A and B are shown apart, each in its own frame.
Chain A
Amino acid sequence: KAGVTQTPRYLIKTRGQQVTLSCSPISGHRSVSWYQQTPGQGLQFLFEYFSETQRNKGNFPGRFSGRQFSNSRSEMNVSTLELGDSALYLCASSDPGGYNEQFFGPGTRLTVL
């Protein structure tokens, strides 16, 4: 099976802009989670989607949003970008059956100038 894919891999934006990141889960996986990774804060949970519904949410401002499509692909959006949003954004997919282990993609490196 192909792994989790994320596009784009790298992105440069300026403050105030908005950005959309995309994630395609492993075939058959219906749950998609998003994490932010920074040197200062480490890996932090953003949100989880299952069957097109947000099932869990982390402690991030409303500028961070996401959605999931009927084919389980997911997008996350960050509006009004701030310098502190520069990070590696990781997507993880899982199969809700069994132990629901999270399998991560390679991430999208977002730089905000």
Chain B
Amino acid sequence: QQQVKQSPQSLIVQKGGISIINCAYENTAFDYFPWYQQFPGKGPALLIAIRPDVSEKKEGRFTISFNKSAKQFSLHIMDSQPGDSATYFCAASKGGTASKLTFGTGTRLQVTL
């Protein structure tokens, strides 16, 4: 049972554009929602994370929007750069910690010149 659904599977954005990746979850007990960025040959790196007590969190060019009633959250990458080309994973966990993460299936982002 896939508890976190991620879309799209792949995304091509022009340099300077906005990249948007969406995730939906089923388990209402989830209370921690991080986004990870993974480059080929590397492990996932934590980008930004949110908890359900806020609807939006921004760190630099990266913003998480969270809709608790719809059980959805999304990652927005503003002013996308070629260096942002990577695979992005959303994830979720429960119990007030980041342990035992349930990951989405990943989105391969390509930012073109």
Q: List A residues at the B interface (Cβ < 8 Å).
A: 4, 31, 33, 35, 42-45, 48, 55-56, 58, 90, 92, 94, 96, 99-107
Contacts and interface: CB of A to CB of B under 8 A. Distances in A.
Q: SS class of chain A's interface: helix, strand, loop or mixed?
A: strand
A100 B99 contact: yes
Contacts of B11: none
A106 B41 CA distance: 7
Contacts, number: 60
A91 B44 CA distance: 10
B43 A99 contact: no
Contacts of B20: none
B105 to A, nearest CB: 5
B100 interface: yes
A90 B43 contact: yes
B43 A45 contact: no
A94 to B, nearest CB: 6
B61 interface: no
Interface of B: 32, 34, 36, 41-46, 49, 89, 91, 97-106
B100 A96 contact: no
A100 B49 CA distance: 11
A70 B43 CA distance: 25
Considering the complex of A and B, which 5 residue pairs feature the smallest CB-CB distances, nearest first?
A: A104-B43, A43-B103, A100-B97, A100-B98, A56-B100
A33 B43 contact: no
Which of B46, B97, B102 has most A Cβ within 10 Å? B97
B100 A99 contact: no
Given A99-B32, A102-B46, A106-B43, A31 B99 contact: yes
A43 B44 contact: yes
Contacts of B41: 106
23 contacts: A31-B99, A42-B89, A42-B103, A42-B104, A42-B106, A43-B89, A43-B91, A43-B106, A45-B100, A45-B101, A45-B102, A55-B99, A56-B99, A96-B97, A99-B32, A100-B98, A100-B99, A101-B49, A101-B98, A102-B46, A104-B43, A104-B45, A107-B42
